[in-house]
Chain A
C-alpha cells in the first residue's frame, strides 16, 4: 500500500505550457526528493528538501523548481515545458532516522511527454 502519491500518472502536454507535478506523503517524513529518469536509464537527483521551507538542487541541473510549504506536500513545477523535459519523474521520501538510513519510499512516478 503506497504512502506516497504522485499525480498525474501520465501527462502529455504542449511546448510552452506550465505544469505542476504533485507529490504527497502521509508518513510524516521530513526528507523528500525528486528524481528524473529516462526510460531504462539511471536515476538522477534533481531536487530535495529537508523540511518545510527547505529546498535544494540535486546533482543534475534541472529547469524545474520545487516548493515545500507543508511537510506532506512537495510539488515540482516547470514554468515552460519543452520536449527535452520528456522523462519520468519519481518522488521519494526518506526513512532516515536515528542516524540510520532505511531507504526511500517512492511514489508511482509521473511520465511526462512534451510535444
Chain B
C-alpha cells in the first residue's frame, strides 16, 4: 500500500531562515513521482515541485528544493530564505507511475514569524 507521512503538524520559523518540511513515503513500486503543494489560507492548492523516482538530481524550483533520499524513502521540502508569504499549509504527495491518483499526506502548517 502507498502511504505518505508528514510528522510535523505545525512549524514556526523566523523570516529569512531556511525551512525543512519532512516527508517520508512508502511504496513498493519502482517508478513513482513525488510532489509538494502549498495551500494558503485562501484554499487553493498550488503546485511547488516534482521529483521523479529515477531522477538523479534533486529537483529545484526557485527557493524550493526537494531533498530526495531514495534509500530512506524521504522527500523533504527545503525553502530557502523564508518569507511571510510562505505561511501556509504544505502537502507532500506521491503516486506510482502505473496509477493516476495521487496520495496526499496530512500536511504541515508553516508559520513564518516577522
Chain A residues in contact with chain B, CB under 8 A? 31, 33, 40-43, 45, 48, 50, 88, 90, 92, 94, 96, 99-109, 111
Contact partner of B98 (CB less than 8 A), chosen from A90, A92, A99, is A99
Cβ of B43 and Cβ of A101 under 8 Å apart?
no
Contact partner of A103 (CB less than 8 A), chosen from B99, B102, B106, B107, is B102
A-side contacts of B33, CB under 8 Å: 100-103
B91 in contact (CB, < 8 A)? yes
B25 in contact (CB, < 8 A)? no
- Nearest CB on A from B17, distance (A): 23
B-side contacts of A45, CB under 8 Å: 101
B97 in contact (CB, < 8 A)? yes
Chain B residues in contact with chain A, CB under 8 A? 32-33, 35, 37, 42-47, 50, 52, 89, 91, 93, 95-102, 104-107, 109
Cβ of B104 and Cβ of A101 under 8 Å apart?
no
Question: Given A40-B109, A43-B91: A101 and B45 within 8 A (CB)?
Answer: no
Cβ of A108 and Cβ of B43 under 8 Å apart?
yes
- In addition to A41-B107, A90-B45, 19 A-B residue pairs with Cβ atoms within 8 Å of each other are A31-B100, A33-B101, A42-B105, A42-B107, A43-B91, A48-B101, A50-B100, A96-B100, A99-B97, A99-B98, A101-B33, A101-B97, A101-B100, A101-B102, A103-B50, A105-B47, A106-B37, A106-B45, A108-B42
